[in-house]
Amino acid sequence: MDAVLSVNGLKKYYRSKGSFIKAVDDVSFEVYPGEVVGFLGPNGAGKTTAIKAITGLAAYEGQIRICGFDLSEKHRAAVRQLGAIVESPDLYADKTAKWNLSYFASISDEEQLRTGYPEGAEIKKIISDRVEKALNTVGLSARAGSAVKTYSLGMKQRLGIAQALLAEPKLLILDEPANGLDPDGIKDIRNLVRRLASEKNIGILVSSHQLHEMQLMCDRVLIISHGRIVADKKIDELARSEGGRIRVSVKTDDPAKAARFLAERFGVEDAVAGENSVSFSSDKPTAEVTRELVLAGFNVYGVSEDEVSLEEVFMREIHSGTAKEDGDVR
């Protein structure tokens, strides 16, 4: 399957107050159809700068291809496959949602707009139908006639997504779509994003600094720090600690004996025996470890895998990334 977005050696350097800043430094990654990719990093890591380059808003070095079209050389062919919110869902506030969407549809690519409509259909009708559908998708049909300035932030985010969906994009880029939303709003956006990826097979790049959200929303996460991608991993890979280990804790009668057994049987080195449980990190499937314990005669009352939060992973990856960078400098 061909990538809807392929970024190769993306760089964006600039000077600010006399110092040279590498806002994005040699970033490469791909996004495939139907995939939700998280773009994760603290504020100032270079997420938005990279997104501005990918959406064609800012000049860059390196290569960006959208659906195979080079963004610099074939700008129109590339961006007609693109729907995006960059930074914030800014629309014309004193105009209605419907006006905004109709306007943005009218200046979108006509061929894209006609996709899925009978040949010879009137473009005006197609636009109004697409506007209706986009409003429906994000659940804003009832307020379509209100000025955007009367909208809540969550509604604006959803309207921004509707705007991005107008011309049948194959690549959707959402910059901090959950920013400033309440939990319900965040859930709405998350469900919408998942649905768009699975039902419409859109490749989606979502940036965020909200770790938990990324875990729920994305298939894969790119971690960016100081302008560099320090990790590109599937969500379930990320949940494992260094070396693919996971922290397991087993409730049993004799934790100390269990710890010794684990050390002998599986070579576990960090088993910690508590009062009624033993915890350790393991690279073996938890089911296998449990079975072996039971077969060895331990009474197992409960097994739990400690959830490695994305936050820990995040800190770990950033720090190892920084260490690597420091290494480069030396």
Partner 1 sequence: MFGKLYAGELKKQTSKSAIIAIAVIMAVLLLLMAVLFDSLNELLAESVPPSEAQSRSAEVYTEESVEALLEYYRAALKDAEAEKAEAGFDYYRNPDSVYMYEGYIAMLEYIKGNELYGIELTTVIQGAPVTGASVTAESFITTAGSMLILLAVIYASIVAGSTFADEYKRGTIKMLLIRPVGRGQVVTAKLLAALTHTAAAYLIMFVCTVAVGYAVFPAAGGDAVYSFNNSAFTVSAVSNTLGISFATNLIMLMTYAVVAFAAGILTRNKVFGIITPIILIEVAGLIISMFGLGRFFISDAAEWSKYVGIGNTLYGGADFFISLAVWIVWVAVLTAGSYMAVIKRDAA
Q: How far is CA 28 from the centre of its chain?
A: 15
Question: For residues 90 and 237, which CB has a smaller minimum distance to partner 1 in the complex?
Answer: 90
- Indicate the Cα dihedral angle 278, 284, 289, 295, nearest 10°: -140
Question: For residues 68 and 274, which CB has a smaller minimum distance to partner 1 in the complex?
Answer: 68
Residues 202-261 that bind partner 1 (CB under 8 A): none
Question: For residues 44 and 257, which CB has a smaller minimum distance to partner 1 in the complex?
Answer: 44
Alpha-carbon Rg for the chain, nearest whole angstrom, is 24
Question: For residues 52 and 190, which CB has a smaller minimum distance to partner 1 in the complex?
Answer: 52
109: contact with partner 1 by CB under 8 A: yes
Binding flags for partner 1, 290-319, as an x/- string (CB under 8 A): ------------------------------
Question: For residues 110 and 237, which CB has a smaller minimum distance to partner 1 in the complex?
Answer: 110
117: contact with partner 1 by CB under 8 A: no
Total chain residues near partner 1 (CB under 8 A): 31
Contacts of 41 (CB under 8 A, 6+ apart): 47, 207, 209, 223, 224, 225
Shortest distance in whole angstroms from residue 329 CB to partner 1: 28
Q: 58 burial class (0-12, 13-18, 19+ CB within 10 angstroms)? A: middle
CA distance 273 to 188: 43
Residue 224 forms beta bridges with which residues?
229
Q: Of 108, 137, 215, 225, which one interacts with partner 1 (CB under 8 A)?
A: 108
Residues 38-97 that bind partner 1 (CB under 8 A): 52, 55-59, 75-77, 79-80, 82, 84, 86-88, 90-95
Question: For residues 173 and 293, which CB has a smaller minimum distance to partner 1 in the complex?
Answer: 173
Residues 149-188 that bind partner 1 (CB under 8 A): 163
Amino acid at residue number 62: G
The sign of the torsion formed by the CA atoms of 145, 146, 152, 153 equals positive
Q: Of 106, 146, 290, 320, which one interacts with partner 1 (CB under 8 A)?
A: 106
On whether the CB atoms of residues 101 and 137 are closer than 8 A, the answer is: no
Question: For residues 72 and 277, which CB has a smaller minimum distance to partner 1 in the complex?
Answer: 72
Shortest distance in whole angstroms from residue 131 CB to partner 1: 14
Residue identified by tokens 């993306």 is 10
CA neighbor of 164 nearest in space, from 240, 100, 223: 100
Helices 153-165, 123-137: axis angle to 10 degrees equals 140
- 36 CB-side CA count, 13 A: 25
Binding residues (CB under 8 A) for partner 1: these are: 52, 55-59, 75-77, 79-80, 82, 84, 86-88, 90-95, 99, 103-104, 106-110, 163
